[in-house]
Amino acid sequence: MFDPALLRNTDRDQFYADYRKAGDVIFDQVQNGTISIDESGIYRIKEACKKHGIPIDDKKAQDFQNMYRNYQSNITMTDDLKAYLIDSDAMIGVLTNGEHSHQYAKLSALGVFDFIPSTRIFTSGKIGYAKPDPRSFEHVMKTFNDDAINWYYIGDHYRNDMVGAKKAGMKTIHFNRHHQEEGDASDYVVYTEKELIDLLKELSA
């Protein structure tokens, strides 16, 4: 079994950032079906552990991926965010990178479809373009029949979300909860869910 105690003395934010960076390296291979999601997960945990000097073999990497998949079906939305979505009259959509059914399963587990209809959910696996490609954002705007300048894009990945959305003409909110890369492509930066909700209320006032 993979023992989470292996990460006890690790900077969790940096480890997560390195885990995501490893995923970025092979994202195109997942997108075109060259490797599976599970193979991608195994690669990511092995690369992140290697960078942090944490010993991990193939069996432990597989165990981690199994745990990761299990927890993905048990993720939940916070009560504060649910309350905001219930009260908000804003038009909201989701644009996410990843294989279509995999992303839908995560969104379903979170209860996103209780607040956002499936017609406003867009995955790179379905539309054929992945962030930061501006065409992915333009596809959403074309579907909504609206101009990008009227929209705020909220994301946690500076290059994929902020840079991509800004190139497409959107205003941007960087939800940088792991305190990673920032830059001029972000119109606003928040670090906690409370800061994000407060900002959204302020912008819609």
Whether 169 and 92 map to the same domain: the answer is yes
Q: What is the DSSP string of 45-106?
A: HHHHHHHTT----HHHHHHHHHHHHHHHTT----HHHHHHHHH------EEE-S-HHHHHHH
Assigned token pair, 58: 């193939």
Give me the domain span that covers residue 85. 79-204
Whether 103 and 54 map to the same domain: the answer is no
Assigned token pair, 193: 């869910």
CATH of the domain at 100: 3.40.50.1000
Whether 51 and 90 map to the same domain: the answer is no
Whether 91 and 176 map to the same domain: the answer is yes
Question: 53 — alpha (psi -120 to 50), left (phi > 0) or beta?
Answer: left
AA identity, residue 129: Y
Give the tens place of pLDDT for each residue, 183-198.
999 999 999 999 999 9
- Number of domains composing the chain: 2
Chain centre to alpha carbon of residue 205: 27
Whether 52 and 94 map to the same domain: the answer is no
Share of residues in the chain with pLDDT > 90 (%): 71
Record the pTM: 0.85
Give the tens place of pLDDT for each residue, 154-172.
999 999 999 999 999 999 9
- 137 pLDDT above the threshold of 90: yes
What pLDDT does 176 receive? 96
Whether 119 and 156 map to the same domain: the answer is yes
Is residue 3 very low, low, confident or very high in pLDDT (cuts 50, 70, 90)? low
HEC string of 150-185 equals HCEEEECCHHHHHHHHHHCCCEEEEECCCCCCCCCC
Distant-in-sequence, close-in-space partners of 172: CB < 8 Å, separation ≥ 6: 152, 153, 154, 155, 161, 162, 165, 166, 185, 186, 187, 188
Whether 65 and 143 map to the same domain: the answer is no
Give the tens place of pLDDT for each residue, 13-25.
889 889 988 988 8
Whether 122 and 180 map to the same domain: the answer is yes
Last residue of a domain, one of 50, 72, 94: 72
Half-sphere exposure of 10 (CA within 13 A, CB side): 21
